[in-house]
Structure 1
Amino acid sequence: MKRSVQKKVCLLGDFAVGKTSLVRQFVEGQFDDRYLSTIGVKVSRKTVELDQVQLNMMIWDLVGGNEYLHTERSYLMGTAGALIVCDLTRENTLDAYARYTQQVRAVNADAVIFYLANKLDLTAERQITTGQLAQLCASLGGDFLLTSAKTGAGVNEAFTQLARQIEGE
């Protein structure tokens, strides 16, 4: 029988990049077109079966935006990993990668950080290239995945890859 462990994971990014939708797609397999603004933090749970361990993820969906960046540092305490999300249709949301990386590293230098570029399904509105993502993520020392909370593309893969890196698989 596999051992069971519980780990805290945080989703970070600017307003309306799709953090809540990514969590909902991963945990419930659902997508809602209506914008669901997060107030403070919402915690969801999902178990991921890895080779050596059953990882019970406590997924903290944190409100986006600069005003919460410094005041809600306590939400990041104890996090084993973070998914930092940008919106492929809004180039300015890429700035969040460096800001949130700095915040996570200040609280836990060993946390695993993975970068997501969401809204892959909105191809006509796309403003961020794969080259831009590769260059920025390399400079931050992390990997990235393209995701679509709407279609589910890359969503399970993102959470599973984060879980594997947290557990060293």
Structure 2
Amino acid sequence: MIAEDKQAAAKFNKKVCILGDFSVGKTSLVRRFIEGIFSEKYLSTIGVKVDRKAITVPYKGETAHLTMIVWDLAGSEKFTQARANYLRGAAGAILVCDLTRSATLASLSGYITDLRQLSPTAKLLLAANKFDLVEGQQIAFPQVEAAANRFNLPFFLTSAKTGAAVELMFQRLGQMLLE
């Protein structure tokens, strides 16, 4: 009998924050990723909701097991003070804007500033959500691209409703977390 020298796959736990203004689809993106579902019913997040999901990502030529501890933060201004406590220790974050509301893209700079102060090594990416709502879009692709370039962030055009690019976005963030 030959002893196998196979090493167990690397395992990681990483805190990921989901940020953006109210009603941009943060909770819907998280539910799509965690549970694979979408609901038309809007429920405002109060404070923070924490979920987790284990995924596999490439790591040093092998496959690693990464558990994302996903913090879905309220977008309301009432929770601005508490947000600082939630952001500390974040390994990564997804900054979400709503393609049907132009102000939501502009406000991301404040979230980015907070993140870079409180968790300077956090890996960030931008989600331009509600891509399925073609008729009501107020933000054009070049605007999303310009914002992503200005902050040096990868970006995804997502739809929590259809699932477009949601899994791909979280997978990419997972890879970034282990780089």
The TM-score with structure 1 as length reference comes to 0.96
Amino acid at match of 2:112: T
Alpha-carbon distance between aligned partners in 1 of 2:159 and 2:143, rounded to the nearest angstrom: 18
Q: Which residue of 2 aligns with 1:48?
A: 55
Q: Which residue of 2 aligns with 1:97?
A: 108
Alpha-carbon distance between aligned partners in 2 of 1:51 and 1:71, rounded to the nearest angstrom: 34
Q: Deviations over 1:107-148 (max 9, x none)?
A: 111110100000011000011011001111111111110000
Q: Which residue of 1 aligns with 2:20?
A: 13
**C-alpha displacement at 1:16, in angstroms?**
0.3
Alpha-carbon distance between aligned partners in 2 of 1:65 and 1:162, rounded to the nearest angstrom: 25
Q: Which residue of 1 aligns with 2:172?
A: 161
**C-alpha displacement at 1:66, in angstroms?**
3.0
C-alpha contact 1:81 1:111 (8 A) present in aligned 2:
yes
C-alpha contact 1:13 1:65 (8 A) present in aligned 2:
no
Q: Which structure 2 segments of 5+ residues have no match? A: 1-7
Q: Which structure 1 segments of 5+ residues have no match? A: none
Q: Which residue of 2 aligns with 1:22?
A: 29
Larger radius of gyration: 2
Q: 2:71 aligns with which of 57, 60, 85?
A: 60
**C-alpha displacement at 1:151, in angstroms?**
0.3
Percent same amino acid among aligned pairs?
Answer: 44
SS of the residue 1:162 aligns to: helix
Aligned residues: 168
